[in-house]
Amino acid sequence: MAIGIIVCGVGGRMGGAVVRAIQQSANFKLTGAIDKPGSARLGKDAGEVSTAAHLGIAITDNIDAVLRPNTVIIDFTNPQASLGFLRSAAKRRAPMVVATTGFNPKQQAEIKRLARRTPTLLSANTSLGVNVLVSLLNKAAKMLGDDYDVEIIEAHHRFKKDAPSGTALALGRSVANALNRDLDRVAINGRQGIVGERTEKEIALLSVRAGDIVGEHTVIFGGIGERLEFIHRAHSRDTFSHGALRAAEWLAKKKPGLYSMQDMLGLY
Protein backbone atom coordinates (compact mmCIF):
# COMPACT_ATOMS: atom_id res chain seq x y z
CA MET A 1 0.00 0.00 0.00
CA ALA A 2 1.38 3.40 -1.00
CA ILE A 3 2.31 5.77 1.81
CA GLY A 4 0.46 9.08 1.77
CA ILE A 5 2.75 12.11 1.74
CA ILE A 6 1.95 15.73 2.59
CA VAL A 7 4.53 18.11 1.16
CA CYS A 8 5.03 21.41 3.00
CA GLY A 9 6.68 24.11 0.91
CA VAL A 10 5.32 22.66 -2.32
CA GLY A 11 6.01 25.88 -4.22
CA GLY A 12 9.72 25.88 -3.42
CA ARG A 13 12.56 24.19 -5.27
CA MET A 14 12.72 21.24 -2.89
CA GLY A 15 8.97 20.91 -2.46
CA GLY A 16 8.56 20.60 -6.20
CA ALA A 17 11.37 18.04 -6.37
CA VAL A 18 9.63 15.91 -3.73
CA VAL A 19 6.34 16.02 -5.66
CA ARG A 20 8.10 14.87 -8.82
CA ALA A 21 9.86 12.07 -6.92
CA ILE A 22 6.53 10.87 -5.53
CA GLN A 23 5.21 10.64 -9.07
CA GLN A 24 8.14 8.43 -10.05
CA SER A 25 7.54 5.86 -7.29
CA ALA A 26 4.74 3.38 -6.73
CA ASN A 27 5.50 3.35 -2.98
CA PHE A 28 4.11 6.85 -2.34
CA LYS A 29 1.14 9.02 -3.21
CA LEU A 30 0.68 12.75 -2.72
CA THR A 31 -2.23 13.42 -0.35
CA GLY A 32 -1.60 17.05 0.55
CA ALA A 33 0.31 20.08 -0.71
CA ILE A 34 0.97 23.06 1.57
CA ASP A 35 2.18 26.54 0.65
CA LYS A 36 2.48 29.77 2.64
CA PRO A 37 -0.57 31.94 3.37
CA GLY A 38 -1.20 34.48 0.64
CA SER A 39 0.71 32.55 -2.00
CA ALA A 40 -0.50 32.95 -5.58
CA ARG A 41 -0.24 29.16 -5.88
CA LEU A 42 -3.05 28.45 -3.40
CA GLY A 43 -5.89 26.56 -5.09
CA LYS A 44 -3.75 25.45 -8.02
CA ASP A 45 -2.96 21.81 -8.76
CA ALA A 46 0.24 20.68 -7.03
CA GLY A 47 1.39 18.72 -10.05
CA GLU A 48 1.08 21.64 -12.40
CA VAL A 49 3.06 23.92 -10.07
CA SER A 50 5.88 21.38 -9.70
CA THR A 51 5.92 20.55 -13.44
CA ALA A 52 4.69 17.02 -12.71
CA ALA A 53 1.47 15.65 -14.22
CA HIS A 54 -1.95 16.88 -13.08
CA LEU A 55 -2.49 15.25 -9.67
CA GLY A 56 -5.87 16.45 -8.54
CA ILE A 57 -4.37 17.80 -5.30
CA ALA A 58 -5.11 21.47 -4.69
CA ILE A 59 -2.50 23.52 -2.85
CA THR A 60 -3.68 24.85 0.51
CA ASP A 61 -2.23 26.74 3.47
CA ASN A 62 -4.19 24.64 6.03
CA ILE A 63 -2.34 21.47 6.97
CA ASP A 64 -5.03 20.41 9.46
CA ALA A 65 -7.51 20.11 6.59
CA VAL A 66 -5.44 17.47 4.80
CA LEU A 67 -3.95 15.49 7.71
CA ARG A 68 -5.19 11.91 7.56
CA PRO A 69 -4.21 8.62 9.24
CA ASN A 70 -1.23 6.81 7.69
CA THR A 71 0.28 9.93 6.17
CA VAL A 72 3.78 11.34 6.59
CA ILE A 73 4.65 15.04 6.35
CA ILE A 74 7.79 16.13 4.49
CA ASP A 75 8.77 19.72 5.24
CA PHE A 76 11.16 21.97 3.30
CA THR A 77 10.16 25.46 4.46
CA ASN A 78 11.54 27.74 7.19
CA PRO A 79 11.94 27.36 10.97
CA GLN A 80 8.80 29.25 11.99
CA ALA A 81 6.59 27.46 9.46
CA SER A 82 8.14 24.08 10.27
CA LEU A 83 7.31 24.43 13.96
CA GLY A 84 3.71 25.27 13.12
CA PHE A 85 3.43 22.13 10.98
CA LEU A 86 5.11 20.02 13.67
CA ARG A 87 2.62 21.25 16.28
CA SER A 88 -0.22 20.06 14.04
CA ALA A 89 1.59 16.77 13.41
CA ALA A 90 2.04 16.20 17.15
CA LYS A 91 -1.71 16.64 17.77
CA ARG A 92 -2.53 13.98 15.17
CA ARG A 93 0.47 11.71 15.85
CA ALA A 94 1.52 12.17 12.21
CA PRO A 95 5.18 11.31 11.43
CA MET A 96 7.13 14.26 10.06
CA VAL A 97 10.43 14.63 8.21
CA VAL A 98 11.79 18.09 9.01
CA ALA A 99 14.35 19.04 6.37
CA THR A 100 14.46 22.73 7.21
CA THR A 101 17.63 24.41 8.49
CA GLY A 102 18.36 27.50 10.58
CA PHE A 103 16.62 26.57 13.86
CA ASN A 104 17.78 28.53 16.89
CA PRO A 105 18.33 26.82 20.29
CA LYS A 106 14.82 27.69 21.55
CA GLN A 107 13.24 26.24 18.40
CA GLN A 108 15.40 23.12 18.64
CA ALA A 109 14.18 22.61 22.20
CA GLU A 110 10.57 22.82 21.05
CA ILE A 111 11.23 20.25 18.33
CA LYS A 112 12.55 17.86 20.99
CA ARG A 113 9.42 18.37 23.10
CA LEU A 114 7.03 17.85 20.19
CA ALA A 115 8.92 14.76 19.02
CA ARG A 116 7.88 13.02 22.25
CA ARG A 117 4.37 12.94 20.82
CA THR A 118 5.01 11.93 17.20
CA PRO A 119 7.82 10.31 15.17
CA THR A 120 10.04 13.16 13.97
CA LEU A 121 13.13 12.99 11.79
CA LEU A 122 15.21 16.17 11.78
CA SER A 123 17.92 16.49 9.17
CA ALA A 124 19.89 19.39 7.75
CA ASN A 125 20.46 17.32 4.62
CA THR A 126 18.47 14.32 3.37
CA SER A 127 21.12 13.19 0.88
CA LEU A 128 22.21 9.65 1.67
CA GLY A 129 25.74 10.46 0.51
CA VAL A 130 26.07 13.44 2.84
CA ASN A 131 24.94 11.40 5.81
CA VAL A 132 27.44 8.66 5.01
CA LEU A 133 30.04 11.45 4.87
CA VAL A 134 29.04 12.65 8.35
CA SER A 135 29.80 9.16 9.68
CA LEU A 136 33.08 8.86 7.77
CA LEU A 137 34.31 12.23 9.04
CA ASN A 138 33.75 11.19 12.63
CA LYS A 139 35.85 8.08 12.10
CA ALA A 140 38.57 9.97 10.20
CA ALA A 141 38.83 12.68 12.86
CA LYS A 142 39.24 10.10 15.61
CA MET A 143 42.06 8.40 13.71
CA LEU A 144 43.88 11.60 12.67
CA GLY A 145 43.49 13.46 15.95
CA ASP A 146 44.58 17.00 16.76
CA ASP A 147 47.61 17.00 14.46
CA TYR A 148 45.42 17.74 11.42
CA ASP A 149 43.76 21.13 10.79
CA VAL A 150 40.11 20.95 9.75
CA GLU A 151 38.61 23.37 7.20
CA ILE A 152 35.09 23.06 5.79
CA ILE A 153 34.11 24.90 2.60
CA GLU A 154 30.47 24.93 1.47
CA ALA A 155 28.96 26.41 -1.69
CA HIS A 156 25.29 27.01 -2.52
CA HIS A 157 23.07 29.03 -4.84
CA ARG A 158 22.71 32.77 -4.44
CA PHE A 159 19.20 32.46 -2.96
CA LYS A 160 20.16 30.50 0.15
CA LYS A 161 19.39 32.56 3.25
CA ASP A 162 21.44 30.90 6.03
CA ALA A 163 25.20 30.52 6.38
CA PRO A 164 27.03 28.37 7.15
CA SER A 165 24.76 25.73 5.66
CA GLY A 166 23.06 23.30 7.99
CA THR A 167 25.03 20.54 6.31
CA ALA A 168 28.35 22.28 6.97
CA LEU A 169 27.39 22.60 10.62
CA ALA A 170 26.47 18.90 10.76
CA LEU A 171 29.84 17.98 9.23
CA GLY A 172 31.61 20.31 11.66
CA ARG A 173 29.82 18.84 14.66
CA SER A 174 30.74 15.33 13.57
CA VAL A 175 34.42 16.28 13.50
CA ALA A 176 34.22 18.33 16.70
CA ASN A 177 32.52 15.53 18.62
CA ALA A 178 35.20 13.07 17.53
CA LEU A 179 37.90 15.47 18.77
CA ASN A 180 36.08 16.34 22.03
CA ARG A 181 35.60 19.95 20.98
CA ASP A 182 32.60 22.28 21.23
CA LEU A 183 31.92 23.53 17.70
CA ASP A 184 30.18 26.66 19.00
CA ARG A 185 33.43 27.63 20.75
CA VAL A 186 36.01 26.67 18.12
CA ALA A 187 34.20 27.48 14.83
CA ILE A 188 35.71 30.22 12.64
CA ASN A 189 33.32 31.74 10.09
CA GLY A 190 35.65 33.43 7.62
CA ARG A 191 38.93 35.28 8.16
CA GLN A 192 40.04 38.83 7.47
CA GLY A 193 43.11 40.92 8.20
CA ILE A 194 46.11 39.96 10.32
CA VAL A 195 44.56 37.04 12.20
CA GLY A 196 47.81 35.39 13.27
CA GLU A 197 48.68 31.74 13.05
CA ARG A 198 45.92 29.21 12.93
CA THR A 199 45.06 27.80 16.35
CA GLU A 200 45.22 24.07 16.92
CA LYS A 201 41.57 23.62 17.93
CA GLU A 202 39.72 25.86 15.48
CA ILE A 203 37.46 24.43 12.76
CA ALA A 204 36.79 26.81 9.87
CA LEU A 205 33.37 27.00 8.20
CA LEU A 206 33.68 29.00 4.98
CA SER A 207 30.64 29.84 2.83
CA VAL A 208 30.33 30.54 -0.91
CA ARG A 209 27.10 31.84 -2.48
CA ALA A 210 26.97 32.01 -6.27
CA GLY A 211 24.62 31.36 -9.17
CA ASP A 212 22.60 28.16 -9.04
CA ILE A 213 25.00 25.84 -7.18
CA VAL A 214 22.85 23.04 -5.74
CA GLY A 215 25.24 22.18 -2.91
CA GLU A 216 28.92 21.36 -2.52
CA HIS A 217 30.85 20.54 0.65
CA THR A 218 34.58 19.99 1.00
CA VAL A 219 36.21 18.94 4.28
CA ILE A 220 39.99 19.26 4.47
CA PHE A 221 42.19 17.51 7.03
CA GLY A 222 45.50 19.31 6.61
CA GLY A 223 48.61 17.79 8.12
CA ILE A 224 52.29 18.58 7.77
CA GLY A 225 53.34 17.02 4.47
CA GLU A 226 49.89 15.84 3.36
CA ARG A 227 46.21 16.61 3.30
CA LEU A 228 43.10 14.48 3.08
CA GLU A 229 39.96 15.85 1.41
CA PHE A 230 36.39 14.62 1.47
CA ILE A 231 34.10 16.12 -1.18
CA HIS A 232 30.37 15.79 -1.72
CA ARG A 233 28.68 17.43 -4.72
CA ALA A 234 24.93 17.39 -5.26
CA HIS A 235 24.27 17.31 -9.00
CA SER A 236 20.54 17.98 -8.60
CA ARG A 237 17.88 18.30 -5.93
CA ASP A 238 16.72 14.78 -6.75
CA THR A 239 19.23 13.38 -4.26
CA PHE A 240 17.50 15.28 -1.43
CA SER A 241 13.96 14.42 -2.49
CA HIS A 242 14.67 10.69 -2.83
CA GLY A 243 16.44 10.71 0.53
CA ALA A 244 13.48 12.47 2.14
CA LEU A 245 11.08 9.84 0.78
CA ARG A 246 13.26 7.03 2.03
CA ALA A 247 13.29 8.72 5.45
CA ALA A 248 9.49 9.06 5.35
CA GLU A 249 9.05 5.36 4.56
CA TRP A 250 11.31 4.42 7.49
CA LEU A 251 9.73 6.93 9.89
CA ALA A 252 6.19 5.70 9.21
CA LYS A 253 6.99 2.54 11.19
CA LYS A 254 8.61 4.24 14.18
CA LYS A 255 7.36 5.17 17.64
CA PRO A 256 7.32 8.82 18.79
CA GLY A 257 10.81 10.25 19.24
CA LEU A 258 13.41 12.43 17.58
CA TYR A 259 15.42 10.65 14.88
CA SER A 260 18.09 11.54 12.33
CA MET A 261 19.19 10.29 8.93
CA GLN A 262 22.05 8.63 10.79
CA ASP A 263 19.48 6.56 12.71
CA MET A 264 17.66 5.70 9.49
CA LEU A 265 20.86 4.51 7.80
CA GLY A 266 22.18 2.70 10.89
CA LEU A 267 25.30 4.89 11.01
CA TYR A 268 26.79 5.31 14.48
Residue 112 annotated in active site: no
Give how far Cα 179 sits from Cα of 41, 144, 185, Å: 47, 9, 13
Residues of the chain with pLDDT > 70: what percent?
99
Q: What is the pTM of this model?
A: 0.85
Choose the catalytic residue: 156, 217, 232, 242.
Answer: 156
In a shared domain, residues 15 and 103: yes
Q: What is the pLDDT of residues 206-222, one digit of tens each?
A: 999 999 999 999 999 99
Q: What is the pLDDT of residues 27-64, one digit of tens each?
A: 999 999 999 999 989 999 998 888 767 889 999 999 99
Model pLDDT, residue 70 = 84
In a shared domain, residues 116 and 242: yes
7 confidence band (pLDDT: 50, 70, 90): very high
In a shared domain, residues 148 and 97: no
Q: What is the pLDDT of residues 154-175, one digit of tens each?
A: 999 999 988 999 899 999 999 9
267 confidence band (pLDDT: 50, 70, 90): confident
In a shared domain, residues 81 and 142: no
| Number of domains making up the chain | 2
In a shared domain, residues 27 and 153: no
268 confidence band (pLDDT: 50, 70, 90): low
In a shared domain, residues 207 and 228: yes
Residue 160 annotated in active site: yes
Q: What is the pLDDT of residues 104-157, one digit of tens each?
A: 999 999 999 999 999 999 998 999 999 999 999 999 999 999 999 999 999 999
* Sheet containing strand 149-156, strands side by side: 187-188, 203-209, 149-156, 216-223, 226-233
One-character DSSP codes across 166-231: HHHHHHHHHHHHHTT--HHHHEE----S---SPPSS-EEEEEEE-TT---EEEEEEEETTEEEEEE
In a shared domain, residues 227 and 158: yes
Residues of the chain with pLDDT > 90: what percent?
85
Mean pLDDT estimate for the chain? 94
Q: What is the CATH classification number for the domain harbouring 91?
A: 3.40.50.720
Choose the catalytic residue: 29, 36, 160, 254.
Answer: 160
Mean pLDDT calculated for residue range 174-180? 97
- Structural domain including 38 reads 3-126+237-265
